[in-house]
Structures are given as C-alpha cells and as structure tokens.
Amino acid sequence: SKDEMEQRVREIKQKLGKSLFIPGHHYQKDEVIQFADATGDSLQLAQISARNKAAKHIVFCGVHFMAETADILTEDTQNVYLPDMRAGCSMADMADIAQTEAAWEELQSIYGDTIIPLTYVNSTADIKAFVGRNGGAAVTSSNAKHIVEWALTQKERILFLPDQHLGRNTAYDLGIPLSQMAVWNPFAKKLITEENIQDLKILLWKGHCSVHENFTVQNIIQIRSEKKDMKIIVHPECSREVVELSDYSGSTSYIINMLEKAEPGTQWAVGTEMNLVNRLAQIHNDKTVISLNPQMCPCLTMNRIDLPHLLWSLECIEEGNPINRIKVARETAEEAILALDRMLAIV
Ligand code: 13P
Ligand code: SF4
C-alpha cells in the first residue's frame, strides 16, 4: 500500500543518512517531492549537486539530462541514479549530436568564426560537450538573459540549442528584433528565413517543449474574455505569441516567487507544468491559481518517477545493488563541464 511504501522510504532515508541525497525538480509529483532533500529548478539543482560532496548516492527525481548534469558536476566517488530510465525529455532529444555537428560545419562555412554555441541545460551531455569544446556555455531559464548577453560580448552571433522558444524570448527581451533571428532546420539543413543571412544574430535550433507548447493564444483569449482580473504568467518555453500576450513570463523559480509575493485574493492563470501548478494552488489557498490550459499539461516523462520507482531505487541501494546509474563517459564529461562551469561562473 501507499502507506507502507512511504514508511519504507522513510526507513531507508533514516538508515542511509547523509550518504543518500534526493534532489527533486519542481515538476515532480507530490508523492515523490515529499521525500526530496532539496527541491529546485534546473539551475538550483545543478548548483546544489555541485556543492554536495557528502552524498555517495544521489537519487535524482527529475529527468535524464538533469541526472547527467548532476553526474558531471559531482565527484567520481558519488553515484547518480535515475529511478526510471524512461524519464527522458522530448526537448533534449530534439538536438541530436550528429545533426548538431553537421549544422555547425555548415554555419561555420557561412559565418566563419563569428558564432558561439549556447545550450539550454535541457540537452544531452553530448550536446553540452559540443558546446563546451566550441567555447560556449550552458543556460537555464533563470539565467538565460545573463548568458546570452555574455555570449554577445564574445561573438557576433549565437547558435542556441535546443529550445527555439527560450532562445527567441530571451533575445527579444534583450532588444534583438525578430528579423535578426532564424530557425535552423536540422532536416532541411538550412536556416529558415527570408532575411539576408549575414544580418542574423540569433540562430535557433528547431526544438521545443511538448508540455509548454500546449499553452496557446486561444487559451489566453478565453481567460481574458471570462476573467478580467486574472493575471497570466507563463514559462519562457512557451511560444513568443503566448509570452507576448501574457502579463509576466519567467523561469520556474520566477513563477514560484511571483505567486509567493502576490496579494491574497489575486487570481492567476499559470502556463507551466501541471504538478507545479497544482502545488501552487494548494500552497496559496488564499489566492486563485489555475492552469492556463484547462487540459492541465503534465510532463509525462517527469511523471514516470513515482513512489514505487523511488522506493525500488532506494531498496536496491540498501541491498548494495544499485540500479540505473547515470554515468557520463569521462571525455564527454570533461568537455561538458566547460559549458556548465562557464554558466556557473557567470550567474
Ligand atoms: P527550469 O527548471 O529551468 O525552469 O526548466 C523547466 C523545465 O522544463 C525543466 O525541464
Ligand atoms: Fe522536457 Fe518540457 Fe518535460 Fe521539461 S517539461 S522535462 S523541457 S518535456
């Protein structure tokens, strides 16, 4: 039963003490997040992992690229596990390393040495390594502005992987016109634009988040027509049009802080992952908090980490046969850490 499983998790946590560490992303289910030793957005979880030198077993409650990042940032003696290997990220999978290398070669032939790559942390370790060895940095949604600004002090233009929306929204906020941005289509192997390609500054990979793309202009029109006083706040993984029509946009932590500061009685429609929206609605029961899309929008891969998988992972560690270790190959990790360290040094 659920009670028994929860009891077992508590026992194992007690028994393993500080040698066990459970980080949990804000999009995780309540049944899992209740056992997290630290919760955070992607940036906070990367920073927490990099600082924690005591834990021998890190059971990562999040998705595969986050566990890889934790492995890259921790020591060899620290082992990172993902309770369910099917917890991937469809966005991270949209930037394939062979396609990225091919794009880079083509872009170098057009632009020479005037381009720097950036990657959202929502990417594979191979992509982070590619960015690291080519002088670029990782970014998260909460520091994207600073990193894009930094990158433009290094080179004239940026290749931004893999989320076109975060790239476009961030560059737009920095005053770069949409006419200086274009999407690289990895299948057509070309930039999709009608502008002069020499005028382009921001080259966006053709990737997106399958959760955040479900928030639409239509959802906003609906809320605006029905609920005049409702504020709309969305994650920058939403499309430019949706961000444009919203009242506020920002990372997961930004959304959490905004709702924390909001006056009692205020009303909020939130465009981000369902588990977080539901949690915010529970915590802030003096405010009205709903999902911007009535269909709710869960991240199916985040949800693969559930109580049974967490318990299974912990029991295997307790028995001395841990499963699902996430181990990034040394050469890949050595290059990927360049991209992560550049990011962590800037923010
Ligand atoms: P942040 O935690 O950086 O806001 O990213 C959101 C997300 O989609 C994580 O997968
Ligand atoms: Fe990936 Fe989007 Fe899920 Fe985050 S919410 S893990 S970006 S699919």
| Domain span including residue 187 | 92-209
* Whether the Cβ atoms of residue 81 and residue 57 lie closer than 8 Å to each other: yes
* Whether the Cβ atoms of residue 287 and residue 269 lie closer than 8 Å to each other: no
104 and 193 inside one domain:
yes
Q: Tell me, in angstroms, the distance from the centre of ligand 1 to residue 122's CA.
A: 8
The rounded distance, in Å, linking the Cα atoms of 81 and 87 is 12
Flag whether pLDDT at 245 surpasses 90. yes
The rounded distance, in Å, linking the Cα atoms of 260 and 262 is 6
User: Is 193 a member of any domain?
Assistant: yes
Considering every ligand atom, which ligand is closest to the CA of 47? 1
ipTM of the complex: 0.97
What is the best residue among 26, 39, 41, 212 to mutate for testing ligand 1's pocket, by most ligand atoms within 8 Å of CB? 41
17 and 31 inside one domain:
yes
User: Is 335 a member of any domain?
Assistant: no
Among 184, 209, 234, the domain boundary falls at: 209
* Whether the Cβ atoms of residue 231 and residue 259 lie closer than 8 Å to each other: no
Residues in CB range of 4: below 8 A, 6 or more apart:
none
Residue 27: CATH number of its domain: 3.40.50.10800
User: Is 336 a member of any domain?
Assistant: no
114 and 199 inside one domain:
yes
**Residue type for position 304:** R
165 and 230 inside one domain:
no
Cα separations in angstroms, 286 against 42, 51, 254, 265: 28, 36, 19, 6
What does the pLDDT read at residue 347?
78
- Binding-site residues for iminosuccinate sit at 25, 42, 120-122, 141, 235-237, 252
Please tell me if the CB atom of residue 100 comes closer than 6 angstroms to any atom of ligand 1.
Answer: no
The rounded distance, in Å, linking the Cα atoms of 276 and 25 is 10
The rounded distance, in Å, linking the Cα atoms of 179 and 194 is 9
pLDDT digits (tens, 9 = 90+) for 110-149: 999 999 999 999 999 999 999 999 999 999 999 999 999 9
The residue nearest atom 6 of ligand 2, judged by CA position, is 89
pLDDT digits (tens, 9 = 90+) for 35-87: 999 999 887 887 888 788 889 999 999 999 999 999 999 999 999 999 999 99
243 and 190 inside one domain:
no
User: Is 342 a member of any domain?
Assistant: no
Mean predicted confidence (pLDDT) in 280-303: 95
Q: Which atom of ligand 1 is nearest to the CA of 26?
A: 2
CB count in 10 Å sphere of residue 13: 15
pLDDT digits (tens, 9 = 90+) for 7-34: 999 999 999 999 999 999 999 999 999 9
Retrieve residue 281's tokens: 């609605």
CB count in 10 Å sphere of residue 36: 20
Please tell me if the CB atom of residue 122 comes closer than 6 angstroms to any atom of ligand 1.
Answer: yes
The rounded distance, in Å, linking the Cα atoms of 239 and 212 is 8
**Residue 118 per-residue DSSP state:** E
Q: Tell me, in angstroms, the distance from the centre of ligand 2 to residue 186's CA.
A: 20
What is the best residue among 28, 210, 276, 277 to mutate for testing ligand 2's pocket, by most ligand atoms within 8 Å of CB? 210
Look at the alpha carbons of 322, 325, 331, 337 in this order and tell me if their dihedral is positive or negative: negative
What DSSP line would sit under 190-201, residue for residue? EEE-SS-GGG--
Among 186, 209, 232, the domain boundary falls at: 209
User: Is 343 a member of any domain?
Assistant: no
Query: By three-state DSSP, how is residue 249 classified?
Result: strand
Flag whether pLDDT at 190 surpasses 80. yes
The rounded distance, in Å, linking the Cα atoms of 301 and 91 is 11
Domain count, the chain: 3
68 and 142 inside one domain:
no
230 and 256 inside one domain:
yes
Please tell me if the CB atom of residue 141 comes closer than 6 angstroms to any atom of ligand 1.
Answer: yes
Please tell me if the CB atom of residue 71 comes closer than 6 angstroms to any atom of ligand 1.
Answer: no
* Whether the Cβ atoms of residue 265 and residue 286 lie closer than 8 Å to each other: yes
Q: Which of 46-55, 143-152, 218-227, 265-274 has the lowest mean pLDDT?
A: 46-55
Average pLDDT, the chain: 96
201 and 220 inside one domain:
no
Among 168, 194, 209, the domain boundary falls at: 209
Please tell me if the CB atom of residue 252 comes closer than 6 angstroms to any atom of ligand 1.
Answer: yes
The rounded distance, in Å, linking the Cα atoms of 6 and 18 is 19
- Binding-site residues for [4Fe-4S] cluster sit at 89, 209, 299
Percent of the chain with pLDDT over 70: 100
User: Is 282 a member of any domain?
Assistant: yes
What does the pLDDT read at residue 45?
87
Strand partners, 233: 248, 270
319 and 272 inside one domain:
no
What does the pLDDT read at residue 47?
82
What does the pLDDT read at residue 346?
87
* Whether the Cβ atoms of residue 249 and residue 243 lie closer than 8 Å to each other: yes
Mean predicted confidence (pLDDT) in 219-236: 97
170 and 103 inside one domain:
yes
235 and 197 inside one domain:
no
224 and 146 inside one domain:
no
User: Is 60 a member of any domain?
Assistant: yes
Residue with tokens 């991937």: 88
- Binding-site residues sit at 25, 42, 89, 120-122, 141, 209, 235-237, 252, 299
User: Is 26 a member of any domain?
Assistant: yes
Instruction: Say whether pTM exceeds 0.90.
Output: yes
